A = this chain, B = another copy of it.
Amino acid sequence: MAINISKLNVQCADCPIRHRAVCAKCDDDELAQLEDMKFYRMFEAGQTIVWAGDDLTFVASVVRGVATLGQTLEDGRTQMLGLLLPSDFIGRPWRGTSAYDVSAITNVTLCCFRRKPFEEMLIRTPHIGERLLEMTMDELDAAREWMLILGRKTAREKIASLLTIIARREKTLDVPLAKAPVTIDLPLTREAMSDYLGLTLETVSRQISALKREDIILLEGKRRVVVPDMARLLEQTGSDPISHI
């Protein structure tokens, strides 16, 4: 199922996520230990990486590609819980099964560690735990930001919020208040957006059409959005609360 290239010799030092992933704070010696443990796995767009409830014998960092974290109700309703971009972490130490569905939406490369050895290293290497704590707290903030969006925003505000959040992530530059046009490449189908926002795909489509009709966004193809004036889009988000760094 997964293409498993156990020991493809990629040097951690050259790794694109070296300074943002769970290993970010590691010194040379610690990195060497991780280098020794790691193995890569690749998944094709559309493949499922794990199902909720399945055994998960490894933890991993996303090296390349985009994956989604989601949950499904028995009757098929689904809710996306997060986008996993390069450097994001998959799995939970000390837990043997995945609580969530994880799926590759583009081709994905993971840098994996078997869970047990990783847990042991986590105990004896504070640098890893410190970084993992930071990352987990960031995830928690992101999840709570989504709770506000899901619980209290209208369909239009949800769409505008999604666009600004993806824009914010693509350009790590912070809020471009300058009137320069911003281009957003959506890694998501309309359906994936609806799963993220707790809407139907028809509602997503309608709201995007409406934003386009009002010249707040332009479409280049279906998956590329140009925002001529970011400030106007931000007005449509229901205005985020005190922007929490």
Kindly name the residue among A52, A123, A150 whose own CB sees the greatest number of chain B CB atoms within 10 A: A150
Interfacial chain B residues near A136, Cβ < 8 Å = 133, 136-137, 140
Q: Which residues of B contact A95 (CB under 8 A)?
A: 245
A44 at the binding interface (Cβ < 8 Å): no
In the complex, which residues of chain B have a beta carbon less than 8 angstroms from the beta carbon of A71?
144, 147-148, 241
Q: Is the CB of A151 within 8 A of B239?
A: no
The distance in angstroms between the C-alpha atoms of A81 and B150, with both chains bound, is: 11
Q: Once bound together, how far apart are the Cα atoms of A224 and B144, in whole Å?
A: 28
Which of A3-11, A124-132, A162-170, A211-219 lines the interface with chain B? A124-132
CB-CB under 8 A for A241 and B52, given A140-B140, A152-B77: yes
**Docked CA distance A71–B146 (Å):** 11
Contact of A126 among B126, B150, B153, B242 (CB under 8 A): B126
A198 on interface, CB distance cutoff 8 Å: yes
> Which applies to chain A's interface (DSSP): helix, strand, loop or mixed?
mixed
A7 to chain B, nearest CB (A): 29
Taking CB as reference atom, which chain B residue is nearest A53? B242
Number of this chain's copies in the assembly equals: 2
Contact of A129 among B78, B130, B151 (CB under 8 A): B130
Contacts of A147 in B (CB 8 A): 71, 79, 81, 143, 146-147, 150
Give the distance to chain B from A182, nearest Cβ to Cβ, in Å. 23
Closest Cβ of chain B to A55, distance in Å, is 12
CB distance from A85 to the nearest CB of B (A): 17
Indicate if the CB atoms of B238 and A152 lie closer than 8 Å: no
Residue from B74, B126, B148 within 8 A of A239 (CB atoms): B74
A-to-B contact residues, CB < 8 Å = 52-53, 69, 71-75, 77-79, 81-82, 92, 94-95, 97, 99-100, 123, 126, 129-130, 132-134, 136-137, 139-141, 143-144, 146-148, 150-153, 197-198, 238-242, 244-245
In the complex, 6 of the A-B residue pairs with CB atoms within 8 angstroms, ordered by the A residue number, are A72-B241, A73-B238, A73-B241, A94-B134, A99-B244, A136-B140
